[in-house]
Amino acid sequence: MPRRRGRRKSIKSASKSKYNRKAANSLFLNTSVVVLSIFIFALAYSWLHRQFIAAPNDSRPFIQLSEKPTTLTSKMWMEKQFRDIKVEVLNGNGVDGIAAVATDFLREQGFDVVRTDDADRTDYLYTIVKDRTGNLHSARRLAEILNVDTVSVIQEINRSLVLDATVILGKDYANLAPFAALKDIP
């Protein structure tokens, strides 16, 4: 019987294509392993270089053993205490520039004055301090620093305002601490 050559060719070509596929898969896997190994090596080298070879690039100062820690003075404590109190200063007497002077004074004392403006009217006889958040102690302390009678501290909570207290300067502003040194006040 004669041999069939066509069938052998198809078996040979089928086995060759299987071999080619296995070789291609093997080549892809080997290449992937090599690339991944190079990446891991570079990552490890970078980490080791940063940890042990390169000088730290930290700009924060280190405390030397010879340095003594500083003590918190009362002035530093007061400045920190009032830094978080947000205040608005309103001119309620109609005299120009009064709110700006009071604002400068309160900022020197460490308060965060967030707004300076005119009040809703200009006939306030007395300066008042309004507590806006329910922290009456801070409002009384603010009044004390301004030399406002603590009776003039009222609680008018308004959470929609982004502040802790409102100072409305009245016609008695000449008696307040920011204006005590000024002589030529009308």
| CA 146 – CA 169 distance, rounded (Å) | 10
The answer to whether the Cα torsion of 31, 33, 36, 41 is positive or negative is negative
Q: What is the CA radius of gyration of the chain?
A: 39
Span of 58-67, 75-84, 102-111 with lowest mean pLDDT: 58-67
| CA 126 – CA 110 distance, rounded (Å) | 24
pLDDT tens, 128-151?
A: 999 999 989 889 999 999 999 988
**Whole-number pLDDT of residue 183:** 54
**Whole-number pLDDT of residue 119:** 94
Q: Is 159 helix (H, G, I), strand (E, B) or coil?
A: coil
Beta strands in the chain (DSSP E): 86-91, 112-118, 128-131, 153-155, 165-169
| pLDDT higher than threshold 80 for residue 37 | yes
Query: For the chain, how many residues are written?
Result: 186
pLDDT tens, 143-176?
A: 999 999 988 999 999 888 889 999 999 999 989 9
**Whole-number pLDDT of residue 8:** 52
